[in-house]
Structure formats: C-alpha cells, structure tokens
Structure 1
Amino acid sequence: MNEPARTPAGEILSSIMLDLFRLNNGLLTSGDRLVEGLGLTSARWQMLGAISAAERPQPVAWIARDLGANRQNVQRIVNDLANDGLVRFETNPHHRRAQLVVLTDEGRQAFEAAMCLQAPWVNRLADGVTVNEIKAAHRVMMKLLANLDDMAEAADPR
C-alpha cells in the first residue's frame, strides 16, 4: 500500500511531534513535583489557573472548551477541587443544570502560592533560549492550533 508523501514541513513536524509529547510529559511531571507540597497536581494547578483567568465564573463545559480538554475530565478535576474546598459551585442564572465554578479564598491562595513557585522554575526552564526564539515557537504553535481547529471544523458534519 502506498502511503501519501509528506511535504518537507510535514516531515519535520512529524519528527518534532514525539519530542513535543516528551516535553509535555516532562512539563507535567516537573509541575507535579513543583506544587506537590501545596497539595496540588499539574492538572489541578492548570484548572485553578483557567478558573482564575476567566473574566467571570464559567460552567465546566466552557472551562473545558477554553482548555481544549474533555469536559468529563475537567468535571472530575473540578469535583476534586470542590471536595478539597478550592472551588465552589454557584447557581447559573442562564442554565439550571450547568453550575458556575468559582474559586474559594483557599483556592485563590493555593493558585497564588503555585505561581510564586512557578516564576523561578519557568525562568530556569527558559535558560539558554532567547525571547525571540520563544516568540517564534509560540507563533508556530498558535498556527498549528489554528490549523487543527480548521481541520476539526471541516470534519464536523453539523
């Protein structure tokens, strides 16, 4: 069976993907270690960050959409955060069943403590990489995300 030929860009991107997976796994593992003393994991920290960054309280489905994550996975993590007193649910005036997720004072403190640990960690992670290199990598990642979104929209039969 003949496989379609990759373009030169597709060939290079294919070889980078395994490195990106390794980088992602390394970031998650390192993040877990960084916030372990705060009773957090990378996933919980990420969720607190998404909730904190939102302009107003959002339902789980919106948080999942903003993160590009599976709603059920986000719901599980948010439920764990609620059980630990880091978030609470409030009534959504626009939807009876989709409650809004709100940081508690304890959740805000935990997120702020994690971010204090993050600053020296991320500065060390960026050692040897210039600001322009990081900006170029960001532009490439954002273009790839846009292409993925375009592909998903084209494949959606709705």
Structure 2
Amino acid sequence: MRSLALLGSLTVPQVAQMRPASRQRMQRLANELAAKGLVEFIDNPRHRRSKLVRLTPKGDTRYRELNARLLSTASTMGAALSEADIRKTTEIVRELSDDVKSRSERLS
C-alpha cells in the first residue's frame, strides 16, 4: 500500500522488484487487499495482460490511518535513551551492517 500511495499505480512485478519478496507473494497480497476493497486492478495501457494495481479511496484512507499511527508511535520510541545509548546503538547497527555486506560479498 505504501508503494502505491507514494508512487501511484504499479504492476505486481514492479512492486515485487522494490521489495524483498517474490512476485507470487506480492500477487497474493494484492489479491487479499483487493478482496478487502483496499486496492483495485485496472487496465494497463502499456501491457494487455499485466494489470495495474491502484489504491481505492478506502485503501488510501486506510494507508493514511496506518501511517499516522506508525509516525505517532515512532515519534515516542527511544525517548528515554541517552545520547550515549543512541551513539552506541548506531555503532552496533553499523558494525552488523558491515558484517552482512562482507558476508554477502564473499558469497557472490
């Protein structure tokens, strides 16, 4: 829903390329959202068979509600952490990220 809200109508393969998920998983998710009336499939002027997925007004409203709740929650997370705690956490996350990159490069 976020991709559709930010970028507009997309095909299922386009959404799958942006996410760490298979096209099949994104198709199932799109079907579930369509069944709830949150998205709809519309004709794609660039491709006869690959429909575009578009948020419905109901889906747009739901996305905005969820996004507002997320932002509200995120704005209060970590409020009790000190600057030293945040710096240490940043350092640890950076080290973990570097480790993952290094391991990934060795596997390639």
TM-score over 0.5 for the pair: yes
CA 1:151 to 1:112, structure 2 compared with 1: closer, same or farther past 3 Å? farther
DSSP-derived class of the 1:91 partner: strand
**2:9 aligned partner, one-letter code:** P
Out of 63, 71, 94, the position equivalent to 1:111 is 63
Mapping of residues 84-95 of structure 1, within 5 Å: 84-95=36-47
From 9, 15, 19, the equivalent of 1:67 is 19
Contact 1:50 1:63 in 2 (8 A): yes
Q: TM-score, normalised by structure 1?
A: 0.52
Greater RCO, CA 8 A, separation 6+ = 2
Write the mapping of 1:48-59 to structure 2, written as runs, cut at 5 A: 48-54=1-7, 56-59=8-11
More strand by proportion, 1 or 2?
A: 2
State the 1:68 CA deviation: 2.0
Which residue of 2 is the match for residue 83 of structure 1? 35
Identical counterparts, % of pairs: 24
Say what the alpha-carbon RMSD is for the aligned residues: 3.1
Q: Structure 2: give runs of 5+ residues left out of the alignment.
A: none
Query: What's the offset of the Cα at 1:116?
Result: 1.4
Aligned residue in 2 for 1:96 = 48
Which one is further off, 119-128 or 77-86? 119-128
